Structure formats: structure tokens, C-alpha cells
Amino acid sequence: MLTDVDILDGGKSLAVTLTGGARHRFHAIWLRDNAWDDKTRAPGNGQRLITLGTIPADTIVSKADIKSGQLHLTFAPEGRTIAFEGAWLAANVYDKPCRQVHGWTCPEIETWDATLGSRIPQAEFGDVSSDKAALARWLAGVRCYGFGKLNGGPVKPEALLGVAALFGYVRETNYGRYFEVRTEVNPTNLAYTGLGLQAHTDNPYRDPVPTLQILYCLENSAKGGENMVVDGFRAAERLHEEDARAFDLLTKYCARFEYAGSVGVRLRSRRPMIELAPDGELIGVRFNNRSAAAVVDVPFEDMADYYAAYRRFGEIIDDPAMEVTFKLSPGESFIVDNTRVLHARKGYSGAGSRWLQGCYADKDGLLSTLAAIESECGALGVSEAAE
Ligand code: FE2
């Protein structure tokens, strides 16, 4: 994997050439900080044993050799020689062009609209409960598309907790460990009525928001009541393609969200509707008309344009060309990445019954479980997950 190494700039950096001819530079201080020897990292858990302050600020590479696929570097003034695996260096290259476009998405995800069709990630509850590879394929689909459906689960209260337990833990909130979604006479939340709901992300008034939501069907004989999902990242991409300024307004100014629907609860947050990382990566969407509070962080000069952008973003989200719709049968459930995918419910009539249970969980746990299985069993392609 390593074919050549050159020390640059008096040892402050070096350049390695990988098989195929690609040349990448690394800084001496970066290499020293990321060494994997047993005096820098604990052999058991891999955690770093030293702080950056332990490493001399004037660290340079005084000697560099390639031996058996490893890069052996001697660091001065410490006078220590440490080996680096060529594959590790290749996987951690940072000497590459910066992304300039705002709103880019990481390569592990694929944005979608109504044409997603049969590629909905879905699996049988029994399969993912008993087969790690089947679980990994389904979780990889959730990572890629931001949602997934699970069929054939038990029809009994609290079965949704078993879905969360497949990959992590329930996140308890003021709504409880889980909540009932069915018509109530005096609802504490409009979700507990038969009204249709505009596509939304849940609980944008929390900080952090619940990053996953599971909705599990126990009864569904009412007319209507289909569920739909919309990819908020695709909606943000569409807004960007149509009107870059509108996209910028929704990313650079914070919206405000609030929920004070029950005694003793007053949840508030201040976050943009479309959230970018500092390098422009699209990392979150918050959209919920029911809990949007007065926006007071947009200058007067930009407020009219901000509202036009907000309106257009909502129109894109409401566009039937964006939605994937399905009706859940008892024992079926779906999970959404609540930082990305909006969900909605069509209105339903009082005839028959509709009873779902919902709960929240955390995406980091899902991604951790998936990564652990993948490293144990080898990476499983998303194309397999869609089968
Ligand atoms: Fe919801």
C-alpha cells in the first residue's frame, strides 16, 4: 500500500505515496498525536493515554522508512520511533480538496423522493431478531435512507420496546418511556386526534431532538390513517437547487420551537430549520408547524425573504412527488431518523380503531450497533438491505 515517503519542510510534514501513485501529505504533529503504539493508546480499549500537551509543540519527523507495509517514523525531540499501518494512513487521508458546496451529504446516505418505491428498507421482525446479518442489512438501510419498516412483529402492547432493543435503548421523555397514539377526548397533543398531520419532525423543541422515532401499530381498522414519510434532506436539496438564497436563509438563521401543552413542561429550542455542519454538510432538518414559535432571530431586512423561504420549503415537503406512503397493519412498525426524515399521517375517521404506540431512541446507538456488526461480519452492502 505504501511505495514511497519524503520528509518535507524540515520534518514538519511528510508525503507518502500509495500504491497506484496517489501522494498525500501528513503533518508530524498529526501523526504523533494519532500514533497507535502502546504508550500512546491503551492496548485494550484503544483510548488515548496522553494529552496533546504531552507532545512537544516543536515535534518533527527526523527519520522515515517503509518496512513490510508499515511506515516507521522517528519523532524528534522525543527520539521515539513508532510504526504506522499503511492501510490506516490510506483510510485517514486528509490532504484532499475541501468541499465548497453547502448542503453536501455524507457518502453513506442516499436522498430520495416518491420514486423510492420498492427500495424501502424493510425486514421481518423474526429475521432481524435472530440473524445479525439480517439486522445489519436492515440497519444499513435505515442509515442510508433515514427510515425503515419492520413487518411481522408481535401484536401486543409494548412490543415497540423490542424494536428499540434490537439496536439500543429507549429515550424517555415527558411523554413517558413510550406513548399511545390514538384518539383522545381532550388531547394533550394534536397527534392524539383523528386530524391529518403535516409532515414534520418530532419534538424540535428539544435540544437535542430525539434522533430516532419508532411507531408501532397494534390496531388499524379505521378508514384512512396512512403513514407517510418525506426525506427532509431531499427537500433541502430541492430548495437549494431552486433558490440558493432561500436555502441560505433557513440555514443561517435560527428558528424557535416551543411546547408547553402539559402542566410543568415548557420546552424551548433555538435552532435552524436546515442545519449544516461548519463545513457545509447537511446534518439536520427541523420542521413542525404545530410547535413553531415566533422567529425573532432574523433581522427585519431579511424576515420577508425568510418567510418566503419557509413557505417554499413547506410546499416542497407537501409535494406528493416527495412522499412515500404506506398503511401499517397490526404488528408492523417503522423507524425514522428524526433529524432527517419527516413523517405524517393522513386523517382518519372515527369508524374502526387506530392504535399505535410510539417511542424515541438514539441514532448513535443504532449506528454503533451497525458498525460493530459490520466490523465483526464484514461490511454489508446497502443494496442487499433493499432486497
Ligand atoms: Fe410525529
C-alpha 189 to ligand 1 mean position (Å): 10
Contact 323/229 with Cβ under 8 angstroms?
A: yes
39 part of a folded domain: yes
Q: Are residues 68 and 130 in the same domain?
A: no
Q: Are residues 85 and 120 in the same domain?
A: no
Contacts of 115 (CB under 8 A, 6+ apart): none
Beta strands in 306-362 (DSSP E): 323-326, 333-337, 341-345, 354-361
Q: Which residue has the cell 438491505?
A: 385
C-alpha 11 to ligand 1 mean position (Å): 56
C-alpha 338 to ligand 1 mean position (Å): 9
Give the cell for residue 331. 404488528
126 part of a folded domain: yes
- In three-state secondary structure terms, 136 is helix
C-alpha 315 to ligand 1 mean position (Å): 19
Contacts of 210 (CB under 8 A, 6+ apart): 171, 173, 202, 203, 338, 360, 361, 362
C-alpha 203 to ligand 1 mean position (Å): 8
Q: Are residues 138 and 231 in the same domain?
A: yes
Give the cell for residue 372. 460493530
Q: Are residues 86 and 118 in the same domain?
A: no
For residue 297, what is the DSSP state? S
Contact 56/44 with Cβ under 8 angstroms?
A: no
C-alpha 128 to ligand 1 mean position (Å): 25
145 part of a folded domain: yes
106 part of a folded domain: no
Contacts of 233 (CB under 8 A, 6+ apart): 105, 109, 111, 146, 282, 285, 340
C-alpha 339 to ligand 1 mean position (Å): 12
Q: Are residues 343 and 238 in the same domain?
A: yes
C-alpha 304 to ligand 1 mean position (Å): 28
Q: Which residue has the cell 460493530?
A: 372
Q: Are residues 30 and 123 in the same domain?
A: no
100 part of a folded domain: no
C-alpha 152 to ligand 1 mean position (Å): 23
Contact 220/330 with Cβ under 8 angstroms?
A: yes
C-alpha 202 to ligand 1 mean position (Å): 5
pLDDT in single tens digits along all 387 residues of the chain? 899 999 999 999 999 999 899 999 999 999 999 999 999 999 999 999 999 999 999 999 999 999 998 999 999 999 999 999 999 999 999 999 887 789 999 999 999 999 998 889 999 999 999 999 999 999 999 999 999 999 999 999 999 999 999 999 999 999 999 999 886 545 566 666 667 788 999 999 999 999 999 999 999 888 888 899 999 999 999 999 999 999 999 999 999 999 998 899 999 999 999 999 999 999 999 999 999 999 999 999 999 999 999 999 999 999 999 999 999 999 999 999 999 999 998 887 767 788 999 999 999 999 999 999 999 886 555 444 433
Boundary of a domain, candidates 91, 126, 141: 91
C-alpha 18 to ligand 1 mean position (Å): 49
Closest CA to 212 of 359, 331, 317: 359
Q: Which residue has the cell 415566533?
A: 294
**CATH number of the CATH domain containing 12:** 3.30.2020.30
Sign of CA dihedral 277, 275, 300, 257: negative
C-alpha 201 to ligand 1 mean position (Å): 6
| Residues present in the chain in total | 387
pTM: 0.90
C-alpha 350 to ligand 1 mean position (Å): 20
Q: Are residues 185 and 37 in the same domain?
A: no
Boundary of a domain, candidates 27, 56, 91: 91
Q: Are residues 210 and 253 in the same domain?
A: yes
C-alpha 135 to ligand 1 mean position (Å): 25
Q: CA-to-CA distance for 20 and 290, rounded, in angstroms?
A: 55
96 part of a folded domain: no
Count CA within 13 A, CB hemisphere, residue 335. 35
Q: Are residues 159 and 57 in the same domain?
A: no
**CATH number of the CATH domain containing 201:** 3.60.130.10
C-alpha 174 to ligand 1 mean position (Å): 15
107 part of a folded domain: no
C-alpha 90 to ligand 1 mean position (Å): 42
C-alpha 49 to ligand 1 mean position (Å): 44
Closest CA to 285 of 333, 229, 242, 359: 229
C-alpha 260 to ligand 1 mean position (Å): 16
Boundary of a domain, candidates 91, 126, 155: 91
C-alpha 125 to ligand 1 mean position (Å): 23
Sign of CA dihedral 314, 319, 324, 330: positive
Give the cell for residue 265. 413542561
Q: Are residues 319 and 358 in the same domain?
A: yes
| Total domains, the chain | 2
102 part of a folded domain: no
For residue 173, what is the DSSP state? B
Q: Are residues 266 and 313 in the same domain?
A: yes
Find the domain containing 376 and state its range.
Answer: 114-384
Give the cell for residue 261. 401543552
Q: Are residues 249 and 143 in the same domain?
A: yes
